[in-house]
């Protein structure tokens, strides 16, 4: 019998972006968001923290700029381990690229700050509140968007040493302690009912929240690993090839979970591509709007 759910220890892995200016985008993710450059190929750069790849940039100058009203990436959300680690990165944004900052919000389960990268890809920088502080009504987590004062947040969580370091260190990526990971990814889609069919009944996530025009899903009781909204894209169809989102990677612990997701999706008539052997497996699939998703066993 095929399980209908992804395992509790499912996690987001990385996001690939197709970019026009590889050097400028690499500089932004390293100098502003303080990620480390892990590898560099002829047309790709991988970035991350503590050896874990979080963002992969692929040089695709042949692609046109994506349309605002098109399916694709709403934002990549980088989860930080504690408020101080988040405050250091938010302060770096203020010092180096304040013009790209777009806002902040207290979501009850988390505190978040938003910006766009130089090519318009959304980024969320956030920290979770402890799980015991999250409130649930039935199977849905309570979230909201309340005012979060960025200056008050920085004042509360930055130390004098942090301020001196950010202002004077020649390489601010080497800041002490803390890491980051892709906590969740938020996508633009054309229809949330169709998104539920694909991401819940097919891929195997559970619904954790619903808002007008938006669906939030997760595995293992997290507030959300993926969100899909139609706020600017209601009714859109298949996205055209363009700069922006290349691929979303999701990690599961074993081959059985990949095979089960493949079987669920094929039962819906979704075309999939499955590769692997007895120890590892990779499932590549496109959602109904052409957003590329890859489910793979943990490295």
Output the DSSP codes for 72-89.
EEEEEEEEESSHHHHHHH
Residue stretches of the chain with pLDDT short of 50: 1-2, 176-177
What DSSP state is assigned to residue 131? G
Q: What is the pLDDT of residue 162?
A: 85
pLDDT number for residue 1: 35
Tell me, what's the pLDDT at 58?
98
User: Which of 168, 212, 183 lies closest to 123 in space, CA to CA?
Assistant: 183
Q: Where do the structural domains in the chain lie, given as residue ranges?
A: 11-297
Per the CB < 8 A criterion, the answer to whether 31 and 13 are in contact is: no
What's the pLDDT score for residue 165?
Answer: 74
User: Quick check: pTM over 0.85?
Assistant: yes
Q: What is the pLDDT of residue 179?
A: 81
> Phi then psi for 205, rounded to 5 degrees?
-80, 165
The pLDDT assigned to 141 comes to: 98
Query: Which CATH number does 11-297 carry?
Result: 3.10.180.10
Q: What pLDDT score was predicted for residue 173?
A: 52
pLDDT of 145: 96
């Amino acid at each position: 019998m095929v399980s209908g759910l992804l395992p509790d220890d499912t996690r987001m892995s990385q996001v690939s972006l197709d970019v026009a200016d590889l050097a400028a985008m690499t500089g932004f993710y390293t100098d502003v968001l303080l990620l480390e450059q892990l590898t560099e190929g002829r047309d790709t750069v991988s970035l991350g923290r503590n050896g874990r790849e979080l963002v992969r940039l692929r040089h695709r100058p042949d692609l046109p700029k994506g349309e605002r009203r098109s399916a694709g990436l709403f934002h990549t959300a980088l989860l930080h381990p504690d408020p101080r680690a988040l405050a250091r990165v938010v302060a770096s944004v203020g010092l180096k690229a304040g013009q790209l900052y777009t806002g902040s919000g207290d979501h009850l389960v988390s505190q978040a700050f938003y910006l766009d990268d130089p090519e318009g890809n959304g980024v969320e920088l956030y920290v979770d509140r402890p799980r015991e502080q999250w409130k649930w009504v039935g199977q849905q987590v309570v979230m909201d968007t309340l005012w979060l004062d960025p200056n008050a947040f920085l004042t509360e969580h930055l130390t004098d040493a942090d301020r001196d370091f950010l202002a004077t260190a020649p390489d601010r990526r080497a800041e002490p302690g803390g890491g980051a990971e892709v906590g969740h990814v938020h996508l633009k889609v054309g229809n949330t009912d169709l998104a539920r069919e694909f991401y819940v009944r097919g891929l195997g996530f559970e619904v954790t929240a619903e808002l007008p025009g938006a669906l939030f899903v997760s595995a293992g009781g997290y507030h959300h690993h993926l969100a899909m909204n139609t706020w600017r894209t209601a009714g859109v169809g298949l996205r055209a090839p363009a700069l922006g989102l290349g691929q979303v990677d999701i990690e599961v612990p074993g081959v059985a979970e990949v095979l089960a997701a493949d079987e669920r999706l094929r039962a819906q008539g979704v075309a999939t591509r499955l590769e692997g052997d007895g120890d590892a497996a990779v499932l590549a699939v496109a959602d109904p709007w052409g957003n590329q998703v890859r489910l793979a066993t943990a490295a």
